[in-house]
Structure 1
Amino acid sequence: MKIGYISTYPPTRCGIAEYTRFLVEAIYSISDYVKVYVFSDTYGKPIYPYIDGNCIVIPSFNPRAEGYYKELIASIDDVEDLDIVHIQHEYGIFHGDKCLIKLMRGLKKRNIPISITLHTVLHHNKGRRYVKLQREIAENADVVIVHSLLQEYELRAQGVDLRRIVRIPHGTKLLSDKVKADKEELGIPSDKAVLLTFGFLRRDKGLEDAIKVFRLLLREHEDVHLVIAGAPQTKEDILYLSKLTKIVMKGLPTKSYTMIRRYLPLEDLMKILSIADVILMLYKERPDHYSVSGVLHLAMGAGKPIVCSRSSRLIEYTELVPELVYYGRGIGELKILVERALYDEELREKATERIMEYAKKTSWERVSERHLELYAELMERRGLEIDFTLSAMSTLWRL
């Protein structure tokens, strides 16, 4: 089976790029009968195709350029006998409604089955333009993949045929037992309990609340240490982070927290996750946007208790461990939740058990199995010959 992904791809620093790499690696880990091409963005990449692991990366488009679909179609035409094209869609990447639809129509003319993952589904309150676009995307795709029930039924409410929609959870990277790190590597005393918040450092990540609750905890608990790890994503984020460190963190003892202000390679991130005792995800709601947090799945893969806000991006966790969900009733409420996550051993054990069960169910290997099964179904509908098998150890599953 020849699969073509249209997506950003590392070294581009974005969640979709990492998502696609995780998915591709997992597909190769479970099947010996696939060949994957990634028709990627051109940012930070050579002008010629290259090999990344087992897949062939073909830098093909600048998503901000007018008419980018022409470059993509040309690159796809250079690869013979693609069995499926899968678009990893995010509004921050694919600018210009007409270009995307022209791309999909061009693929349909070539009789290539089209799968598209809508990583963000916009609520109808965003306006008729986006309702029309999301309908057009669905009409031109063989299948639309979403990650959550909220996304699934929002599309249904907008008139998308439910039979075209398939829900596959976001994949989860499980923290390997081989990852070894200790707190002292980061200059943190080994007897400190680490509160971690990580990912792209933006205004909507609730960093102020994390710092405020940490300041409150320090008054009663000398054994806590805050780690903020990640990089700003835009110029606006850089200014926000500068203000945060100057004003919000002012007066905190410098040895009580660690700021790691850089983009973290996966290996470094896994080490930091391994030393965390509690993870804070105090996201602000983004009105009219339905998506699922990739950072949440990295956190769950580490099997650590998470204290999170009631954000639609975190809906999986709010259903999984409601005891540790912050309702936004004030820092006092948040302090109690963090203390429970740190010191209530019975709750920590229950939370960890539920988290790990869900993390294994949504592991990248299992999610990639569902993708391959779906691709085979699409090929069968088109009367195309299917030539792939999964490894003997894998079992196809339905969600």
Structure 2
Amino acid sequence: MKLAYIGSYPPRECGIGTFTQNLTKSMLGIDELGVEQNEIMVVAMNDGNQKYAYPKEVKHQIRQEYQTDYVEAANFINLSGSDICILEHEFGIYGGNSGMYILPLLHRLEIPFIVTLHTILESPSYNEKAILKEICKMADKVVVMSHKAILFLTTIYDVTQDKIEMIEHGVPDIYFDRVDAKAAFKLTKKKLILTFGFIGRNKGIETVIHALPEVIKNHPDVLYIVLGKTHPNVLRHAGEEYRNFLQQQIKNLNLQSHVLMLNEFVGEVELFKYLSACDIYITPYLNEAQITSGTLSYAMGAGCAVVSTPYWHAAELLTANRGRLFDFNQPHELSQILNQLFDHPETLKEIQANAYKYGKNVTWPKIGKKYLHLSHDLLAFPKQKKDKKETAIDLFLLPPFSLTHIKRLTDDTGIIQHAKFGIPNLKEGYCLDDNARALLMVLMSYKQQKDETALQFMPIYLSYIHYMQNKDGSFRNFLSFNRNFLDEVGSEDSFGRTIWALGYLIGNAPNDAYYQTGKLVFFDAVPYFETLKSIRSIANTIIGISYYLKTNPSDEHMIEVLKRLTDKLIHQYDLNQSETWKWFESLLAYDNGMLPLSLLHAAQHLPDGRIKEVAMITMEFLEEHTLNDGTLSVIGNDKWYRKDGERSFFAQQPIDAMAMVLMFHQAFLLTGNKDYLNKLFDSFMWFLGENDLRLSLYDFETKGCCDGFENYGINRNQGAESSLAYLISHLTVLEAYEEFYQADVNNVSKKGISLQKI
């Protein structure tokens, strides 16, 4: 039998990784001759941009926040010849909102899969509940490690009892004599108390520290060891604040000779030596919401006398005189229990013996056999092949999202507007249009993927926009490479694109400094909104105002401005439309999709039904002339397409494809009609070769996008406009895909939405 596993994996320092490794080894099925009966392969989850030197059984890797990696992994598993997939589920190790990115992978699996649930919440968020329910619904078997978990699954998550399997947390089959272990650490004369595992505020270690003075009065030979590194997530966001707090508490209580904090992540052999040496093991967690504790299981397996707060797993395991419980945040109660146990060594030994007896029944070889038995049962009675629910969006076709070329084009002033092939053309300097697009793109990237490079670029693009704003609120557009202004007032198009980016920033700023700066520049420009003449500038400004209103819906003045600008677009439509020509002008020119897109945005904020009506009519008209048989053919800028004339096929440009992607995305958000997602993806594939030339404009080597194509072929220059158009489109595809699965998971019944198989 070939087994595939999905989870974190050593050398990544993670409790789930240790569990996954132990499980894989225990399921090899080694016979009496030492021959492995089963084959294993691991798909390892990477955190952030970390890279690890994995052992040979790791055959594939997933970067946590890269959606495409999940789809690639599903295809890899399906083609690997594996019989069963086993997923280790913990919300925090998978990407997306509450780990949502794992869902498309599971939807695509073509083999049975078992999920082991390491966290089951009694009061989950809406997303957490929906995601876990969907995982359990797709799984062939759901493994839990406590009876409380079964109760939660059946009563909160609507999982049927017959799908759930109770298999305890395994423990290594390692044994050290207590006397020898103490001697090895030179602690023979000490009464040793131990806590191990990743350190964070929820662990409640300060409770033990505050309990020690009362214990030391009676037992001055007590030593408390805290063994473990600060949790990586805590370290990222708060540094060593909690560890420093504990050190200060130790100093304040004069416990320096009685508490030892070891900032180490030790291997299992060394860990069991510590566990064997300790007299009492403590888990002083601060609340009950822990359905499984690997540290508790290990302590029991090593035969420790455990003293714990009554979190769910501890309350269940420490029955039958296998330990003692004390209430949360009660150091005095803990002091009493510790003194009682140290005062009565015979009671302590009895508890240790009971714990050791339990531990011998849950060693990894025995747990592995239970998982193997479960796997064989699934293969012996296979289910009918499950239907796959997916849109036409196929993330497997997308290249990995990369800011490599944008990094190449960006310096400390802004983004260079042009390039020779993939090399920045410094002679052309900078422009407002591209820095506005760049700001929009990095905001989207950081919002979706928490990309640190995107965060670093934000102040560069925002400061360029601020620098180019005149005192009266208007903007210059062009700046030379040596930072000389090249115009007094820029084009209306550049103005509109800037307002679009600023409006998006106000609703999606990563911190208050960016928010306040964006808001200042935005409102300084407001007096110019209603002076605009260019309908594309008006459209872009409408989009910017619409994004602003998402977070400021009660701004009546801005709603009125939005209404008047929208009326201008509707008026242009009324002037130019006819029975056969449903458009705002007498020609289809450039950036066409932005016009219906702006009305689709406005329709979310204005109750006038005519706005949505004109948006849908013009969108369908544009689609009729550019999207046939699933292939996008945008209007070429060579001659454009004049009413009653012939359309141009050459000088097709990426910004037009981007506008189509954005337009169909907004149409999906407004209507819930899944067909727009298919059209969105068809439009995006224009970049990757589904176009009139059947050539990819995306450059897989430079990670940039070519400037368009002419009658001679691809224009290989890769300027900012084209590359940003590609990246904004790419991010929109990822966002739309997640939104579809969010709707699927939530089983939302919005007007017009269909979650049936497509």
| Per-residue deviation, 1:328 | 4.0
Q: Is the 8 A contact 2:285 2:328 kept in 1?
A: no
SS at structure 1 position matched to 2:28: helix
Distance change >3 Å, CA 219–CA 8, structure 1 → 2: same
Question: How far, CA to CA, are the matches of 1:84 and 1:57 in structure 2?
Answer: 16
The Cα offsets for residues 171-213 of structure 1, whole Å up to 9 and x where unpaired, read as: 122432489855465464x211111111111111120011111
**2:276 aligned residue (274, 277, 282):** 274
Q: Is the 8 A contact 1:150 1:290 kept in 2?
A: no
SS at structure 1 position matched to 2:376: helix
Please say if 1:37 is aligned against 2:41.
yes
What is the match of residue 12 of structure 2?
12
What is the match of residue 167 of structure 2?
168
What is the match of residue 62 of structure 1?
63
Question: How far, CA to CA, are the matches of 2:323 and 2:20 in structure 1?
Answer: 32
Question: How far, CA to CA, are the matches of 1:313 and 1:212 in structure 2?
Answer: 24
**1:258 aligned residue (257, 260, 269):** 260
Distance change >3 Å, CA 331–CA 167, structure 1 → 2: same
5+ long unaligned stretches in structure 1: 385-399
SS at structure 2 position matched to 1:67: helix
What is the match of residue 546 of structure 2?
none
What is the match of residue 394 of structure 1?
none
What is the match of residue 95 of structure 2?
95
| Per-residue deviation, 1:374 | 0.2
| Per-residue deviation, 1:372 | 0.2
Residue identity opposite 2:229 in structure 1 = A
Question: How far, CA to CA, are the matches of 2:201 and 2:66 in structure 1?
Answer: 28
Question: How far, CA to CA, are the matches of 1:256 and 1:314 in structure 2?
Answer: 26
Residue identity opposite 1:295 in structure 2 = T
| Per-residue deviation, 1:25 | 1.9
Question: How far, CA to CA, are the matches of 2:38 and 2:258 in structure 1?
Answer: 50
What is the match of residue 228 of structure 1?
226
Identity of aligned residues (%): 25
| Per-residue deviation, 1:64 | 2.5
Question: How far, CA to CA, are the matches of 1:38 and 1:253 in structure 2?
Answer: 45
Of the structure 1 ranges 136-145 and 338-347, higher mean CA displacement relative to structure 2 is found in: 338-347
Q: Is the 8 A contact 1:60 1:75 kept in 2?
A: no
Of the structure 1 ranges 25-34 and 4-13, higher mean CA displacement relative to structure 2 is found in: 25-34
Distance change >3 Å, CA 102–CA 36, structure 1 → 2: same
The Cα offsets for residues 70-119 of structure 1, whole Å up to 9 and x where unpaired, read as: 2312432452x211001101011123354222111100xx2x11111111
SS at structure 1 position matched to 2:240: helix
Question: How far, CA to CA, are the matches of 1:321 and 1:276 in structure 2?
Answer: 18
SS at structure 2 position matched to 1:92: helix
Distance change >3 Å, CA 344–CA 134, structure 1 → 2: same
The Cα offsets for residues 361-381 of structure 1, whole Å up to 9 and x where unpaired, read as: 111111111100000010011
Question: How far, CA to CA, are the matches of 2:116 and 2:295 in structure 1?
Answer: 18
Question: How far, CA to CA, are the matches of 1:22 and 1:196 in structure 2?
Answer: 23
What is the match of residue 395 of structure 1?
none
| Per-residue deviation, 1:351 | 1.0
| Per-residue deviation, 1:383 | 7.9
Question: How far, CA to CA, are the matches of 1:249 and 1:146 in structure 2?
Answer: 41
Residue identity opposite 1:228 in structure 2 = V
Of the structure 1 ranges 133-142 and 312-321, higher mean CA displacement relative to structure 2 is found in: 312-321
Alignment of 1:53-132 (within 5 A): 56-79=57-80, 81-96=81-96, 98-107=100-109, 110=110, 112-123=111-122, 125-132=123-130
Question: How far, CA to CA, are the matches of 2:256 and 2:126 in structure 1?
Answer: 50
Q: Is the 8 A contact 1:175 1:270 kept in 2?
A: yes
Distance change >3 Å, CA 378–CA 180, structure 1 → 2: farther
Q: Is the 8 A contact 2:7 2:45 kept in 1?
A: yes
Question: How far, CA to CA, are the matches of 1:328 and 1:73 in structure 2?
Answer: 43
SS at structure 2 position matched to 1:324: strand
| Per-residue deviation, 1:144 | 0.9
Question: How far, CA to CA, are the matches of 1:100 and 1:231 in structure 2?
Answer: 28
Of the structure 1 ranges 125-134 and 158-167, higher mean CA displacement relative to structure 2 is found in: 125-134
Q: Is the 8 A contact 1:11 1:44 kept in 2?
A: no
Question: How far, CA to CA, are the matches of 1:67 and 1:291 in structure 2?
Answer: 31
Question: How far, CA to CA, are the matches of 1:362 and 1:380 in structure 2?
Answer: 26
Question: How far, CA to CA, are the matches of 1:186 and 1:242 in structure 2?
Answer: 25
Q: Is the 8 A contact 1:7 1:87 kept in 2?
A: yes
SS at structure 2 position matched to 1:255: coil
Residue identity opposite 1:377 in structure 2 = D
Aligned residues: 370
Distance change >3 Å, CA 252–CA 283, structure 1 → 2: same
Residue identity opposite 1:61 in structure 2 = I
Residue identity opposite 2:286 in structure 1 = K
Q: Is the 8 A contact 2:64 2:95 kept in 1?
A: yes
Question: How far, CA to CA, are the matches of 2:59 and 2:178 in structure 1?
Answer: 32
Please say if 1:149 is aligned against 2:156.
no
What is the match of residue 354 of structure 1?
354
Q: Is the 8 A contact 1:310 1:318 kept in 2?
A: no
Question: How far, CA to CA, are the matches of 1:88 and 1:212 in structure 2?
Answer: 36
Distance change >3 Å, CA 323–CA 98, structure 1 → 2: closer
What is the match of residue 209 of structure 2?
211
Q: Greater RCO between the two (CA within 8 Å, min separation 6)?
A: 1
SS at structure 1 position matched to 2:220: coil
Give TM-score, length-normalised by structure 1: 0.86
Residue identity opposite 2:168 in structure 1 = P
SS at structure 2 position matched to 1:295: helix
SS at structure 2 position matched to 1:171: coil
| Per-residue deviation, 1:253 | 4.4
Question: How far, CA to CA, are the matches of 1:100 and 1:183 in structure 2?
Answer: 45
5+ long unaligned stretches in structure 2: 385-758
Comparing both structures, which one devotes a greater share of its residues to strand? 1
Please say if 1:243 is aligned against 2:245.
yes
Q: Is the 8 A contact 2:307 2:326 kept in 1?
A: yes
> Could you say which structure has the larger radius of gyration?
2
Residue identity opposite 2:212 in structure 1 = F
| Per-residue deviation, 1:225 | 1.3
Comparing both structures, which one devotes a greater share of its residues to helix? 2
Of the structure 1 ranges 322-331 and 290-299, higher mean CA displacement relative to structure 2 is found in: 322-331
| Per-residue deviation, 1:335 | 1.2
Residue identity opposite 1:45 in structure 2 = Y
Q: Is the 8 A contact 2:197 2:295 kept in 1?
A: yes
Of the structure 1 ranges 273-282 and 340-349, higher mean CA displacement relative to structure 2 is found in: 340-349
SS at structure 1 position matched to 2:13: coil
Of the structure 1 ranges 259-268 and 160-169, higher mean CA displacement relative to structure 2 is found in: 259-268
Distance change >3 Å, CA 65–CA 249, structure 1 → 2: farther
| Per-residue deviation, 1:337 | 0.8
Q: Is the 8 A contact 2:176 2:276 kept in 1?
A: no
